[in-house]
Structure 1
Amino acid sequence: MLDSAAEQLMVRRDFPAVVDACDRGLESVAGMDQEDGRCGEFKAGFCILGIQALAELNQWECVLSWVLQQYEVQEKIPATIMQMCILLYSKVGEQAVMQEAARVWLHCPSNSKVTGFGTVAELYLLHVLVPLTHTEEARELIVGEVGGHAFTADQRQTALEVVEERERQNQEPPPDPSRDPNPETPAHTASPRGAVTHRMKAMLRFLYRSVSLSSSGSFSLRRLFLAALLIYMLFFRTDPALPSSFVWISKLLQLLRQMWNAMFAPHHQALAHSKGL
């Protein structure tokens, strides 16, 4: 059922069918032995696919409530799903929706020991508290108990600098367009490229962290599923309308081709030579 839902999402792009498949899959998981370690893996997998499908259907406003239906309380939501929810609501400009849920999750003592706790704290800080200009809560998060579990000393210092810089920007008066030395130059000319670069960096960082998490587990289905989902996010969710997207993807494909040739070209050459003989 998980494979079928992933195929409907990535190949057929039948998003309503994905949501239905995830609902049925979650019902099946609810009937499994909850002590089985695979139960949590399947449940998280269906939720990840369901979140993506709901976002594609522009039904992002019901994502958090849908997730809470599966886990009942905020503290039990897996770190990976909490990260996805923070990024989703941040992307649509509704960071405040995740503020209470992320705060409760981060202050749950048992969550401080799970893999991905630091990433949730980082995303909550950068994508919720900083954009909402909640500087006092941001400082408390960094220097308090949550920051002690989530960040190293250098990371805490860097995070404080980010918060202070954002606070200075908020205190500065807005620029006066009438005093612009280059009024003919539109202010938004560099924004598309900057947006794509930011998205690519976020995707690559998410790719690295997710692969690191999956490599530590013993459940191969999770690794295969996660790899397929990340490839889909990386290639199919990039905005093709932006010229900078083509340049970035072209360079990435060249790098992948070089890696492929370096790893497999000697084998193919040896095989071709043996056939020739």
Structure 2
Amino acid sequence: MRAEPPAWAPGPAQAAALLEEAADLLVLHRDFAAAVERCEAGCDSLGPGPGPGPGPGHESFAEVKCSLCVVGIQALAEMNRWREVLSWVLQYYHVPEHLPPKVLELCILLYSKVREPQVMLEVGSSWLGSQANRSLPEFGSLLELYLAQVLLPLGRFGAAEELVRGCPALDSERRLQLLGTIGDSRGRWRQEEETRPGAEEQQDPAAETLLGVLSQKLLTMLTLLRRTLRSMSNHFYLLPYKKMLLATFLLYLVVVRLDPASPTSLPFIYKLVQLFRQAWAAVLSPVHRPPIGD
């Protein structure tokens, strides 16, 4: 007599079909949003699962769920929604210790690639600190990945040494190699800290070069403006009241309304100076020139 399948068997079967559909949407159709929807539907169809620990169908259940999350992670990354990846995964595994090794590996690599390794700092520490995970064959490789992509780039050398010394999955030779790598990274980190002020000083001439053209234009504009103000101050006493108001209005246009960073500023100021010179020549012409006292 054929045994009846467990009550949760239709869940993995439906999830497997959704997984295949999601993979096609991701790879063939490049419809990443739809792929994420299929992955979410597949994980929801699995429900709580057959329970923790080994048992009938547990391996198939865990494999389908892990594969759905892997496809979902790739689809979210393709849409540049990498910030949602960790929270999206944890809604199906609830705690970091229950993450499958493949999912944890992808998360570490993803956040390392986008230069946000601190996101995985506590997650990786919790996963590696779990006694249940230490018996997994992937534990040693994930520990080394966590060291290289999270702890060392963040300068957590003490935590890295403590983790390596307390890892039973590493033999003595590999442990010494990793401790040597940590020591080398600490030395490079200190050297970079010492040379960082000098590097910042070397960047100043480069910044001045990039801003050289703009600075020269601004200096030229200020020089022309200073000449204008000097010319105006030398002849204010010769101008009637209306002409003084006109000069004040033009000065307002230059100082308040004119954008010094605009490329059109300099020709306008130059023309303005020429207009002022023509005005002074007209005011100080022999007809309008005030008589010279005895």
Shorter-chain TM-score: what band? 0.5 to 0.7
Tell me the residue number matched to 1:61. Answer: 83
Tell me the residue number matched to 2:180. Answer: 161
CA distance in 2, matches of 1:56, 1:164: 36
Pick the structure with greater CA Rg. Answer: 2
Q: TM-score, normalised by structure 2?
A: 0.57
Deviations 1:71-107, CA, capped at 9 Å, x for gaps = 1111111111111111111111111111101101111
- The Cα of 1:168 is off from its aligned counterpart by 0.7
Structure 1: runs of 5 or more not aligned: 180-277
Q: What letter matches 1:48 in structure 2?
A: V
In the alignment, is residue 148 of structure 1 matched against residue 168 of structure 2? yes
Among 97, 102, 108, the alignment partner of 1:80 is: 102
Tell me the residue number matched to 1:139. Answer: 161
CA distance in 2, matches of 1:117, 1:25: 27
Q: TM-score, normalised by structure 1?
A: 0.60
- The Cα of 1:120 is off from its aligned counterpart by 1.4
Contact 1:83 1:119 in 2 (8 A): no
CA distance in 1, matches of 2:48, 2:142: 30
Q: How many residues align?
A: 177
Deviations 1:168-227, CA, capped at 9 Å, x for gaps = 111113275689xxxxxxxxxxxxxxxxxxxxxxxxxxxxxxxxxxxxxxxxxxxxxxxx
CA distance in 2, matches of 1:160, 1:52: 33
- The Cα of 1:33 is off from its aligned counterpart by 4.2
Distance 1:31 1:156, change over 3 A: closer
- The Cα of 1:65 is off from its aligned counterpart by 0.8
Tell me the residue number matched to 1:174. Answer: 195
- The Cα of 1:115 is off from its aligned counterpart by 2.4
Contact 1:75 1:105 in 2 (8 A): yes
- The Cα of 1:140 is off from its aligned counterpart by 0.4
- The Cα of 1:22 is off from its aligned counterpart by 0.2
Corresponding residue SS for 1:131:
coil
Distance 1:130 1:53, change over 3 A: same
CA distance in 2, matches of 1:31, 1:88: 27
In the alignment, is residue 111 of structure 1 matched against residue 129 of structure 2? no
Distance 1:104 1:138, change over 3 A: same
C-alpha RMSD over aligned residues:
1.9
Corresponding residue SS for 1:115:
coil
Q: What letter matches 1:164 in structure 2?
A: G
* Higher RCO, 1 vs 2 (CA within 8 Å, ≥6 residues apart): 1
Deviations 1:237-262, CA, capped at 9 Å, x for gaps = xxxxxxxxxxxxxxxxxxxxxxxxxx
- The Cα of 1:143 is off from its aligned counterpart by 0.8
Tell me the residue number matched to 1:19. Answer: 36
- The Cα of 1:118 is off from its aligned counterpart by 1.1
Q: What letter matches 1:152 in structure 2?
A: D
Distance 1:31 1:78, change over 3 A: closer
Q: What letter matches 1:55 in structure 2?
A: A
Deviations 1:254-275, CA, capped at 9 Å, x for gaps = xxxxxxxxxxxxxxxxxxxxxx
Q: What letter matches 2:28 in structure 1?
A: V
Q: How does 1:176-195 map to 2 (within 5 A)?
A: 176=198
Q: What letter matches 1:156 in structure 2?
A: R
Structure 2: runs of 5 or more not aligned: 1-17, 203-294
CA distance in 2, matches of 1:40, 1:91: 27
- The Cα of 1:32 is off from its aligned counterpart by 5.5
Q: What letter matches 2:119 in structure 1?
A: V
- The Cα of 1:3 is off from its aligned counterpart by 1.3
